[in-house]
Amino acid sequence: MLCFLSYFLGFSEEKYLHSVLSVVAEIGGYTGLLLGFSCFHLVKIVVKLMENEVEKTKENMKAFQREFQPKIAFGQNTAYGVN
């Protein structure tokens, strides 16, 4: 069996730039920031839509009341043609 040995040994050293805790903290921070930001805007959008629906309902109720107000003055019975 032939065996070749090298006189040159190479050493390499790995160093972590971030610890596991700092990586988890950064990922969690960015995720929370983005989700929190989007949830905040989602709530604002829902509130705005609800306010618009309430305003439309109020306008529809006013229009309905104007449309179906009694048109008879007191003392007159126009339903039967009697004045």
Domain regions of the chain by residue span? 41-68
Note down pLDDT in tens along the chain; length 83 residues: 666 666 776 778 888 787 888 888 999 888 888 887 777 788 888 999 999 999 999 999 988 888 877 666 555 555 555 55
| Type of residue found at 13 | E
Query: What Cα–Cα distance (Å) separates residue 63 from each residue in 26, 58, 66, 71?
Result: 55, 9, 5, 15
**Which residues does residue 77 pair with via DSSP β-bridges, in sequence order?**
82
Query: CA-to-CA distance for 6 and 60, rounded, in angstroms?
Result: 91
Query: CA-to-CA distance for 75 and 72, rounded, in angstroms?
Result: 8
If one counts every other C-beta atom within 10 angstroms of the C-beta of residue 22, the result is 11
